[in-house]
Amino acid sequence: MEIFIVLVFVLGYLAITLEHSLKVDKLIPALLMMSLAWAGVAFGLDGFTTWFDSHANKMLEGIGVMNHEEKLHLLENTLLHHFGKTCEILIFLIGAMTIVEIIDHFQGFSTIKSFVKTNKKRTLLWIVCILGFILSAIIDNLTATIVLITILRKLIPDNKDRIWYASLIIIAANAGGAWSPIGDVTTTMLWMGNKVTAAKLMEYLVIPSLLCVVVPTLLASFLPAFKGTFDAEDDKTKTNKNGPFMLYLGLSLIVFVPVFKTITHLPPYVGMMLSLSIFAMVAEILSNRKFSITAINDANGKEAAAHHQSPTFKALGKIEMPSILFFLGILMTVAALESLGLIFTFGQNVQSSMDPNLFVLLIGVGSAVIDNVPLVAASMGMFDMSLYPMDNHIWHFIAYAAGTGGSMLIIGSAAGVVAMGMEKISFFWYLKNIAWLAVLGYVVGFAFMVLFHS
């Protein structure tokens, strides 16, 4: 049955990577392989002789002598444990996405355009890369990429010029997301999985991540594409007077979440729900609407109208539920492999055959080809917590490698994929013109981490 489960994962992941060729949304194979993997675990329960105890982070002894009822109880507890941990991440992401959508509802991100006070291409490059690095650490690398490319469209009318900036934004956004516990799904997973603390993650990764973006930006600034000046188009978009306030309030409340966790020791999603509730209340008050979004209708139908015009209701309707379900499928599938001890055993074999630092370096290279979420989810179950406790250098290496390695190919990260779609960037154009910059930045940052920890 282990072979069947592994085969399900391989075929399912192959379908995810071939999403555009098959014209099937990636969430479908993700959910399908999750269901089939756990079904395989249930059907083969009596035949398993190994089991990984996720609570204690070690292989469980004595499973071979358990009867069917005991194994069934173990399966239920394991499934509930993994589902609970996965939902913590998903609820956290839903809260962050909703805050970002409410900011966008008030046109808060238009405020960022006021930071651009130049007509020099080289200066604009540094501005957007710095903004990408900072923004992605707060609102995640995907959203930061979308926001900055949208602003670029108002500044650089020619797509041939704009794709150069968009490509460097990908590198900056991925690097910025790597050093923050809320900047990338993978760092959030490591943080919420008690592999790293927010303070140590930022302390150890901020300089390597900065090098990862500064080196490519510095080299790119000497390229012909960033020489000369540009003429920005007149922006006649009507602005919202509450936009700047909502932008700064929203970003502050997201940054508050790690602080809340440090003070209360509660899971991060609790702090995110607190931030969301405060932000939603302010949004409803500013919109002159009732801040109850649970009522459906009253006798005159006025409540329903207010409900549908609520910024919070609109934001909840615009969040990326397909991405949430995709993460559910991926994380729960990896959890099935982990529960059988397959990932832990593989990790032990790898550690005995190669240096862990080299293995993590390869994880970064692998994240340029396949999604970094399952890579990090799998790596979290490979290393023995007794040997690699919280904030061990290996977890910081994984956070950096998985977060920044995806920049080496445009399909290697969510930021790259969305930029590819928004600006019609060719895979081979990126490979020829940008990949070498991303590789240099990745290697320099990783080398700094190795030297620093050694």
Comparison of pLDDT for 42 and 113, the residue scoring more: 42
Q: Given this model, what pLDDT does residue 278 score?
A: 94
Residue 240 in this model has a pLDDT that exceeds 80: no
Q: Given this model, what pLDDT does residue 236 score?
A: 61
Min mean pLDDT across 26-35, 168-177, 282-291, 329-338 is at: 282-291
Q: Given this model, what pLDDT does residue 339 score?
A: 86
Residue 32 in this model has a pLDDT that exceeds 70: yes
Which three-class secondary structure state does DSSP give residue 237?
Answer: coil
Q: What mean pLDDT is predicted for residues 412-422?
A: 81
Task: Give Cβ neighbours of residue 291 (< 8 Å, ≥ 6 apart).
Answer: 280, 281, 284, 285, 310, 312
Min mean pLDDT across 32-36, 178-182, 308-312 is at: 308-312
* Confidence band for 347, pLDDT divided at 50, 70 and 90: confident
Q: Any idea which residue has 């140590």 for tokens?
A: 200
Q: Given this model, what pLDDT does residue 286 score?
A: 86
**Number of C-alpha atoms within 13 angstroms, CB side, residue 337?**
29
- The Cα-based distances of 417 to 20, 141, 369, 411 in angstroms read 11, 12, 12, 5
Min mean pLDDT across 116-120, 160-164, 200-204, 301-305 is at: 301-305
CA 331 – CA 393 distance, rounded (Å): 23
* Confidence band for 296, pLDDT divided at 50, 70 and 90: very low
User: What DSSP letter does each residue of 316-378 carry, written as one string?
Assistant: HHHS-HHHHHHHHHHHHHHHHHHHTTHHHHHHHHHHHHS-HHHHHHHHHHHHTTS-HHHHHHH
**Closest among 367, 390, 100 to 250, alpha carbons compared:** 100
* Confidence band for 238, pLDDT divided at 50, 70 and 90: low
Q: Given this model, what pLDDT does residue 237 score?
A: 62
Min mean pLDDT across 173-182, 203-212, 282-291, 431-440 is at: 282-291
Q: Given this model, what pLDDT does residue 232 score?
A: 65
In eight-state DSSP terms, residue 408 is G
pLDDT tens digits for range 71-95: 888 888 889 988 998 898 889 888 8
pLDDT averaged over every residue in the chain? 84
CA 313 to chain centroid, in Å, comes to 24
Domain residue limits at 40: 2-453
Min mean pLDDT across 24-38, 110-124, 229-243 is at: 229-243
Comparison of pLDDT for 17 and 124, the residue scoring more: 124
Which three-class secondary structure state does DSSP give residue 229?
Answer: strand
Q: Given this model, what pLDDT does residue 426 score?
A: 84
CA 113 – CA 191 distance, rounded (Å): 32
Q: Given this model, what pLDDT does residue 439 score?
A: 93
CA 140 – CA 182 distance, rounded (Å): 7
H-helix or E-strand spanning residue 294: none
- Say what the pTM is: 0.79
Q: Given this model, what pLDDT does residue 341 score?
A: 81
CA 119 – CA 262 distance, rounded (Å): 43
CA 293 – CA 142 distance, rounded (Å): 28
Q: How many domains does the chain have?
A: 1
Q: Given this model, what pLDDT does residue 220 score?
A: 92
**Closest among 436, 448, 446, 450 to 216, alpha carbons compared:** 436
Q: Given this model, what pLDDT does residue 308 score?
A: 53
Q: What mean pLDDT is predicted for residues 420-439?
A: 87
Q: Which residues pair with 229 in a beta bridge?
A: 120
Structure tokens given for 437? 């910059």
Q: Which residues pair with 58 in a beta bridge?
A: 53
The percent of the chain in helix, strand and coil, each rounded to the nearest 5, is 75, 0, 25
Angle CA(143)–CA(171)–CA(429) in degrees, nearest 5? Answer: 105
* Confidence band for 290, pLDDT divided at 50, 70 and 90: very low
